[in-house]
Homo-oligomer: A and B are copies of this chain.
Amino acid sequence: MLRTNTAFLQFVEQLFEDKQAGNAIQLKSFAAGAHLIRQGSIISQVYIIREGITKCYIAEDNGKDYIFEFLGTGEITGELEAINKGACLSNITALTPVTVFTIPHNRFMALLRSYPEFNELLLKVLAARIYQTCIRTSYQQLYPVEYALLRLLSLEASQQTFFSKKDMAAYLGISVRSFNRTLKDLREKNILDKEGLNIDLSKEQLEQMIKRFEDA
């Protein structure tokens, strides 16, 4: 859910240090809540997150948002636009203070050509995103919200991160009301510890809980 990529970050850090290769790479900072990228706009750099957490989401014109992913350290964004030269697909906003490396599109594409290793890292990122997105989409479409919610909570717990309910609901593609309701149902079924939302599930445990729901 919160994606990070140390290998990628390391590579970019190195480039940045390098007088030669790094000359067009810059650092930029954003306050929490600031927009890094605005959906529909045209940008001319890619961003690699050095520090902080962002959310990546589409705002539909019925006023609802859908969050695709939370991007953390080492994640790249704006790369689709560099590759396909289109308008920005989504919004990126900072959830915490954020620092990024920026690389101009043409430089970025050139780097891909000159550093096969970098190119391969990017291929892996893209492949991983497709992979994850597919799994998540399928899951969210074909299972009741309850399952997706448990899964999300479990991820959140394992990553020690916490998001607002609004964001969590937007990540699940549901209303905050549904989110709350489902949470309450789970609580009443004693599935969640009432103290906090600390659930600490392994995949097997999750399976078990899901099975338990079935009879009740």
Contacts and interface: CB of A to CB of B under 8 A. Distances in A.
Given A141-B173, A173-B141, A130 B131 contact: no
Number of copies: 2
Contact of A127 (B84, B90, B133, B134): B84
Interface residues of A, number: 38
Q: Chain A interface secondary structure, helix, strand, loop or mixed?
A: helix
A142 B173 CA distance: 7
B123 A133 contact: no
Given A66-B141, A142-B60, A142-B64, A133 B131 contact: no
Contacts of A79: 127
B58 A124 contact: no
A138 interface: yes
B139 A137 contact: no
Interface string A22-50: 00000000000000000000000000000
A192 interface: no
